[in-house]
Structure 1
Amino acid sequence: MVDTEPRGIRESGFVRLPALATGDALARLRRAVGRLEELTRDRAVPAEDFILEAPGIGGWAARQQGVEPLTGVLRSANRIHGYVPEFDAVQCSLGLADGPVARAVGTPGTLVNSFLWAKPPVMGSAKPWHQDMAFAPPGFDPQDHGILTIWIALEPATPRNGCLEFLPGSHLLGLLPHTGDAERLPGEPPRERAVEPHVADEHLPRAAEPVAVPLEPGSAVMFDGLVLHRSAPNTTATEPRTAVSFVYKVPRPSWARPAPAAARL
């Protein structure tokens, strides 16, 4: 059963979608990830769409600081449906835009991006507290639009290997200040010390405790682009955490406050 009761999104900013992609759909997503990994197996240098993991420092920081990552070990990949069209075919076959997204906000969403999120055992790096709307592309007006993300676990996602954690209700606070360094552009020199963009402790709401969302393979969590979320490092020896996410542009949800431009990173 798929839990898409809109009140969960409105009040908490996220909602679980149990058993969203099972059977053939889950197998197709796993095969598509395999094809993506084949495309990057020999990659030794990170690129705009591919972040490679680096032990001890993490993939994002390694790219900014010019530290050599592990060849072919993906931490994340951007625009994956452009590299492997099967991702788009699966999200269409699951009816995500017309189903869970539409039931949450009252209208179908438009797919604007898709990601691979990998946390290999032992070295899978953490992701700090952030709101996805802080990284919306140019021309994406937070006064008029919002985003909903559907994050599908392809392997068990647990507190041990870095499942997502959310601060319930934080999406009702609007866009919060993010601090840190912007992505290093091609041709720019490495940064000696790089701080991944995040919401600093002094700006985190104190009214709610973090909620971890463990997921079985094929289950998902759908969340608002303004809800604060993070993931811990994968410190297990043998438990990879692999997931894909699909990001949908929607009219600014009725529950979301307008985001002041000054809050953007």
Structure 2
Amino acid sequence: MVDSDSRDLRENGFVRLPGLASGDALARLRRAVGRLEELTRERTVSTGDFVLEAPGIGGWAAWQQGAGALTGVLRSADRIHVHVPEFDAVQRELGLADGLVARAAGGPGELINAFLWAKPPVVGSAKPWHQDMAFAPPGFAAREQGIVTIWIALEPATERNGCLEFFPGSHLLGLLPHTGDRERLPGEPPLQAAVEPHVADEHLPRTADPVAMPLDAGSAVLFDGLVLHRSAPNTTATEPRTAVSFVYKVPQPSWARRVPAAARP
């Protein structure tokens, strides 16, 4: 990470990392995704770790409402480094925690989770505006720690198939109000009309326009846990958008100041 990258991260809350996982690393990540798909090929119901896509309402809502989903068609997967340890091996060999993350945040990162983000053609659903810090695990010391995510595209991510979008500078606004339903716990009854947690329009920044982040396969984006981001649905017929992300706990970066709610746009 060069000085201009660090400046972009401080000012915008995100930075592009071209060609981060190329060659063998990219091939290994793709094979590891294949193993995740094998684990879920016969699944018809979403769980906490494996969310299946559902036409019309999206995978998250279908999971929360107990509605039908597409057999074996993943929308997302949680703890992928536990289900398929190859993911952890690749991020270690790329030196992400002690390299890129440490240079970005001023201290080494600790991997706390890893995800698959699949957005199949035609049915790939949207992800609304949110901040990752809103979903930090219990006991996370938000005043002392931060989150840095490295999101790696395994196929080209475009505006047509649902690349990430960011609000530049929104990481400087502190944690914004999120509305919607929390994920139901095992054994809890389905929700009748689930609303995925998100930042409502009235709380979105007015100081900058959203920026799309298209990525080539193997390229990545590193972003702060407080930056607002989303992804649109996949409107293509033949272009899957598949990515993995590695989430690191870090000492709270110096730029992650918090402002009073009254001062927020």
Shorter-chain TM range is: over 0.9
8 Å contact kept, 1:19–1:220: yes
Letter in 1 for 2:251: P
Corresponding position: 1:8 with 2:12: no
Q: Which residue number in structure 2 is paired with residue 129 of structure 1?
A: 129
Q: Which residue number in structure 2 is paired with residue 26 of structure 1?
A: 26
Distance in 2, Cα, partners of 1:188 & 1:211: 38
Q: Which residue number in structure 1 is paired with residue 263 of structure 2?
A: none
Q: Which residue number in structure 2 is paired with residue 238 of structure 1?
A: 238
SS in 2 for 1:221: strand
Q: Which residue number in structure 1 is paired with residue 143 of structure 2?
A: 143
Distance in 1, Cα, partners of 2:247 & 2:14: 14
| Moved segments of 4+, more than 2 Å | 1-5
Q: Which residue number in structure 1 is paired with residue 217 of structure 2?
A: 217
Distance in 2, Cα, partners of 1:93 & 1:2: 21
Matches within 5 A, 1:18-57: 18-57=18-57
TM-score, normalized by length of structure 2? 0.96
Higher alpha-carbon deviation: 102-111 or 202-211? 102-111
Letter in 2 for 1:250: V
Q: Which residue number in structure 2 is paired with residue 115 of structure 1?
A: 115
8 Å contact kept, 1:2–1:19: no
Matches within 5 A, 1:90-101: 90-101=90-101
Q: Which residue number in structure 2 is paired with residue 263 of structure 1?
A: none
8 Å contact kept, 1:101–1:108: yes
Letter in 2 for 1:148: V
Corresponding position: 1:167 with 2:167: yes
8 Å contact kept, 2:106–2:251: no
Q: Which residue number in structure 2 is paired with residue 255 of structure 1?
A: 255
The structural deviation recorded for 1:258 is 4.1
8 Å contact kept, 1:4–1:103: no
Letter in 2 for 1:12: N
Gaps of 5+ in 1: 261-265
> Identity over aligned residues, as a percent?
80
Corresponding position: 1:153 with 2:139: no
Distance in 1, Cα, partners of 2:4 & 2:128: 27
8 Å contact kept, 1:175–1:259: no
SS in 2 for 1:60: helix
8 Å contact kept, 1:52–1:71: yes
The structural deviation recorded for 1:5 is 2.3
Distance in 1, Cα, partners of 2:148 & 2:168: 15
Change (3 A) 1:29 1:101: same
Letter in 2 for 1:257: R
| Structural RMSD (CA) | 1.6
Distance in 2, Cα, partners of 1:29 & 1:139: 31
Q: Encode CA deviations 1:170-226: one digit per residue, 9 max, x unaligned.
A: 000000000000001122121111110000000011011000000000000000000
SS in 1 for 2:92: helix
Distance in 1, Cα, partners of 2:58 & 2:184: 15
SS in 1 for 2:90: helix
Distance in 1, Cα, partners of 2:178 & 2:259: 13
Q: Which residue number in structure 2 is paired with residue 72 of structure 1?
A: 72
Gaps of 5+ in 2: 261-265
Distance in 2, Cα, partners of 1:151 & 1:28: 16
